[in-house]
């Protein structure tokens, strides 16, 4: 179990580029193996209240190991801010789905590999005490390398898309920041102008 968790963590560290967003950088690989499931669990239906001024970050998903993020809708949201929020949310969902598929694939292929190796040795899946038989770290290393090699192109494509999305998000964030600065300066100028205007 520890070997599988370590391999999954290693896979993500090798192929997941550093996110330009602070929320993603706080995510870490889980040290425990999630229960195996064939069905994708439903994402949390909880949503922040309308009055919330912060994003909602939920607990790690059992299969993707990523914390879901729901971005709050700011008051008087501009079209540019809305575009940024939608892109960030879509990127979160896309990333979540990718790692669900990848982790499910990893677990299924790992089980198939373990079964085939035990069968080749003439060993049953469980020992005399009913405990599950496992391969040693050297034998599992063969599988980990094979899995990484097989999925290298898929991970490379994931990285390209990840960087593309993050570049666009960062660009939009810069535009929103500049817009907010402009609004602040304009509002101060208007207030200053109105206060200096003599009344009849």
Domain ranges of the chain: 2-36+47-189
Q: What is the pLDDT of residue 73?
A: 85
Q: Please provide the distance, in angstroms rounded to a whole number, between the alpha carbons at the two ends of the chain.
A: 81
Q: What is the pLDDT of residue 104?
A: 95
Residue 123 structure tokens: 């060993």
Q: What is the pLDDT of residue 33?
A: 41
Q: What is the pLDDT of residue 198?
A: 59
DSSP 71: -
Q: Which of 29, 24, 26, 25 is nearest to 5 (CA)?
A: 29
Alpha helix stretches (DSSP H) within the chain: 2-15, 22-25, 79-120, 137-150, 152-196
Q: What is the pLDDT of residue 174?
A: 96
CA distance 118 to 173: 53
Q: What is the pLDDT of residue 7?
A: 45
Q: What is the pLDDT of residue 44?
A: 53
Q: What is the pLDDT of residue 124?
A: 81
- For the entire predicted model, the pTM comes to 0.64
Residues of the chain below pLDDT 70: 1-52, 196-200
Residue that the structure tokens 């069968």 belong to? 119
């Amino acid at each position: 179990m520890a070997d599988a968790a370590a391999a999954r963590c290693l896979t993500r560290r090798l192929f997941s580029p550093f996110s330009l967003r602070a929320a993603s950088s706080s995510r870490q690989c889980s040290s425990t193996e999630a229960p195996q499931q064939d069905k994708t669990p439903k994402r949390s239906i909880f949503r922040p209240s309308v009055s919330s001024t912060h994003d909602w970050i939920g607990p790690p998903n059992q299969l993707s190991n990523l914390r879901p993020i729901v971005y709050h809708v700011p008051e008087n949201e501009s079209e540019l801010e809305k575009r940024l929020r939608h892109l960030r949310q879509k990127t979160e969902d896309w990333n979540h789905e990718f790692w669900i598929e990848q982790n499910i694939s990893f677990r299924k292929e790992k089980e198939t590999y373990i079964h085939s190796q035990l069968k080749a040795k003439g060993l049953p899946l469980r020992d005399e005490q009913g405990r599950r038989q496992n391969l040693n770290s050297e034998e599992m290393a063969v599988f980990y390398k094979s899995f990484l090699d097989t999925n290298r192109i898929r991970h490379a494509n994931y990285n390209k898309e990840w960087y593309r999305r993050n570049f666009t998000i960062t660009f939009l964030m810069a535009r929103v920041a500049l817009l907010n600065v402009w609004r602040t300066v304009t509002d101060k100028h208007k207030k200053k102008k109105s206060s200096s205007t003599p009344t009849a």
